[in-house]
Each structure stands twice: as C-alpha cells, then as structure tokens.
Amino acid sequence: MNELELKYGCNPNQKPAKVFMTEGQELPFTVLNGKPGYINLLDAMNSWQLVRELRAATGLPAAASFKHVSPAGAAVGLPLSDTLKKMYFVEDKDYSPMACAYIRARGADRMSSYGDFTALSDECDVQTAEFLKHEVSDGVIAPSYSAEALAILKTKRKGNYLIIQMDPAYEPAPIETKQVFGVTFSQKRNDVTITEDCLTDIPTQAKDFPEAAKRDLLIALITLKYTQSNSVCYTYDGQAIGIGAGQQSRVHCTRLAGGKADHWFLRQAPQVLNLPFKADVRRPDRDNAIDVYIGDEWEDLLETDDWKRVFTEKPPVFTREEKRAWLAKAEHDVCLGSDAFFPFGDNIERAKKSGVKYVAQTGGSIRDDNVIETADKYGMTMAMTHIRLFHH
C-alpha cells in the first residue's frame, strides 16, 4: 500500500487528508489497529527516528513520549530504582528493559505525556503493553509486537487504540520536501550521526566526561534533533528530565526545561512520595494533584475542601524553603544539551540552579568566551559539538 486516507489534517476542517509515497514505493509502516490522524503520523514518524537513533547510539532499548511533534520525554532501558518505581507508580513488579525505557520516558513529564504518542525501538513486549494499558495514550509505534502484547493493546480505547508497526529496514530518500502556503521546500534530510566524537572539543578547564555523562549527553542531543526549535534538554540517569521546546529565546528554553527538571527532582522528595492518595484515584489525577502540590498554588487550595477529592487526609504544605533545601542538597550531575549555541552566559547560570555539571552545545557564538568563563566559574565540563540541530 502506498497511500492512506486520514480522518482529517491538523484540524477537522482540513479535509481531505492523506499520506502517500511517490514513485510506487510502499508505505514503510502498517496500521495494525485503529485509524491514524495526521498529527498521529507526524508524531509517529518523528518519534520513531528518535528511538532508532538512541538505540544505535547507546546499544540500549529506547522509548519516547511525543506530543504535538516534540518529545515530552525520551529514555533508554536502564533498571528503575525503588524511588523511581514509587514515583512512576510501578511498585507492583519488575519490568523489562523495553518497559523501563518507556516508563522513564513517560515519567520525564507525566503531565505533558497525557494523551501521548509512544515510540519503542524494540519489540513491544507484554510488560510494556501492560504499563501502556493503564496510561492515557493515543497510539504506539514499534518494529514488532508479541502476540500477547498486541492483544492487550487492542483492548485500549474501546478497541480503537492506534497501533503502528514500523519497517525497521526502511531508509528514506536523502532529499526531503514539504509545502508551505503552496510553496515547495526541499532540503537534504538531517542524517547527521550523533556519537561521542562530537564531545571531544572541550574548551573549559574541566575536561572529564564520565561514561554516564557521555551517554546522557547523547540522549540529550538526539532528543533535541527531533524537538521543535529553539530547544534544550536536561538529562540524568539515562533519561530526559526536562525539555524546553519551540521557544523564541534560548534562555526561555533553558528556564522552561530547568523548571521541569526541578519538578522531576522534587517528585522524589519524601513529602511527595508519601502523599496520602485515596486508593481509587487514577494516575492522571495523581499527576495533576502532585503538580498542584509542588506548585505555588497549594496553599490557596488548602483554604478550600478540594484536597478531599484525592487525599485521605490534608497533606502538610511543601514550603519553598523545603523545596530549595531538597534541590540544593543533592549532587545531581545533570547533563544539558542545546540544539544551537548559547549566546550568553545566562543560560549556564540558570542551568547551574538545576544541578547541571556537563554541557554539550554547538558553539560558535561571538560570546563563546563569556559562556566558557561562566561554565568555568562552576566547574562544568562543556563540549562544543559544532553540530546545529534545528528542527522545524
């Protein structure tokens, strides 16, 4: 099949809509269940590239959680600590590497991942399908599915869950085109390969990249390759923990993603892990409640009875002083990647507040000296990759 009709385009008024291949080629994917929409397939094609490249770069199963053509999270399949299991609501059993990768990717920003599109680098196994079964998700793309996993996923969304099988051998043409306002654009596909070789130009006084930092910087850079620009990505322990996408100012990306990284660490504080949720409260409602609890509006909520909807008793206020102390006491060794150069040292100043110790950025700003000086002030190791990763 080389053509597939869609329900509509980006919006219901945009009809007709379809995807198709030219010159007699077959579509590189098969729809096993459900009916894809235009945005579903944009997410599927972008997220598949991301997890495929993460798999090749790290040698580990990889997963991504996509929303509106940018990742909310991306990760590789490292084991989950007891803290992460509790934080991600998966204390019931051990999970396969493929399942761990998606649980981590989903856990980077569970609020943003609500209604996501899931991408898996390896076969979707039973444990991954069982976790997905209980999450609000629009669809999944993977190179294959075990028979039992496929049967589980086909029960989601009243049998309408979108399941796509990707041909792992497919390679696109080197030139890609798209139309905007009737004008056709053409360019060479961004097929740059991101490896540890791009981390060798280190202008800072600190020169050491531990192996874990190299892995996490590759995760950051590959994630950014498929994130709407401007973008930055904070990574830690094999996963994204904060992604700032589509901002016009780079420092706004750094602040946005840094705030998400801080939120990720705050979710591990005892005050949050031990919140007294009612047994019947669903995961999305827990995520919403945690977001409010960590945020500044919690004290206002305590003046009402709304907390009684999700908690068995009134949780104590997580004060600003307690939050600052929790973030400050941990040696995070967070990694930060940027899809282009940092124009000012203010990005590094903000990154430091979120525990960043290792940085990879394009370099080439007229103020590189200021950025390097700021990194040196905090003992950071920073690589100039000389690779720009704009994505639009």
Is 67 catalytic? The answer is yes
**What is the tens place of the pLDDT at every residue in 258-316?**
999 999 999 999 999 999 999 999 999 999 999 999 987 777 777 777 788 899 998 98
Same fold, 3-171 and 176-266+328-384: yes
- Domain 270-317 maps to which CATH number in 1.10.10, 3.40.720, 2.60.98, 1.10.287? 1.10.287
| The pLDDT value given to residue 277 | 94
| The pLDDT value given to residue 291 | 92
92 pLDDT band, cuts 50/70/90, is confident
CA atoms within 13 A on the CB side of 193: 7
Task: Kindly name the residue from 68, 86, 154, 391 that is annotated as catalytic.
Answer: 68
Q: Do residues 227 and 250 lie in contact, with contact meaning Cβ atoms separated by under 8 Å?
A: no
118 pLDDT band, cuts 50/70/90, is very high
Exposed e or buried b for every residue in 198-209, given b needs 16+ CB within 10 A?
bbeebebeeeeb
Task: Kindly name the residue from 67, 156, 225, 263 that is annotated as catalytic.
Answer: 67
Of the candidate ranges 153-157, 251-255, 283-287, 329-333, the one whose mean pLDDT is the lowest:
329-333
Task: Kindly name the residue from 33, 230, 263, 352 that is annotated as catalytic.
Answer: 230
Is 230 catalytic? The answer is yes
Rounded Cα–Cα distance for residues 380 and 356 (Å): 8
CA atoms 26, 60, 233, 104: torsion sign: positive
Q: What dotted CATH number matches 176-266+328-384?
A: 3.40.140.20
The CA R_g of the chain, rounded to the nearest whole Å, is: 21
DSSP codes joined into one string, 26-43: PPSEEEEES---HHHHHH
| The pLDDT value given to residue 299 | 74
Short-list 74, 328, 66, CA closest to 216: 74
Q: Do residues 60 and 76 lie in contact, with contact meaning Cβ atoms separated by under 8 Å?
A: yes
- Whether the pLDDT of residue 114 is over 90: the answer is yes
Task: Kindly name the residue from 158, 188, 329, 392 that is annotated as catalytic.
Answer: 392
331 pLDDT band, cuts 50/70/90, is low
- Whether the pLDDT of residue 126 is over 80: the answer is yes
Of the candidate ranges 42-46, 89-93, 256-260, 383-387, the one whose mean pLDDT is the lowest:
89-93
Q: Which CATH class is domain 3-171?
A: alpha beta
- What does residue 342 show for φ and ψ, rounded to 5 degrees? -85, 120
Domain range annotation of the chain: 3-171, 176-266+328-384, 270-317
- Whether the pLDDT of residue 112 is over 90: the answer is yes
Strand 116-120 with 381-384, pairing? unpaired
2 pLDDT band, cuts 50/70/90, is confident
| The pLDDT value given to residue 235 | 98
Q: 331: which residues sit within 8 A by CB, 6+ positions away?
A: 355
- Scan for tokens 């100039």, then name that residue: 384
Is 68 catalytic? The answer is yes
Phi-psi region of 163 (alpha: psi -120 to 50; beta: other; left: phi over 0): beta
Secondary element (H or E) of residue 10: none
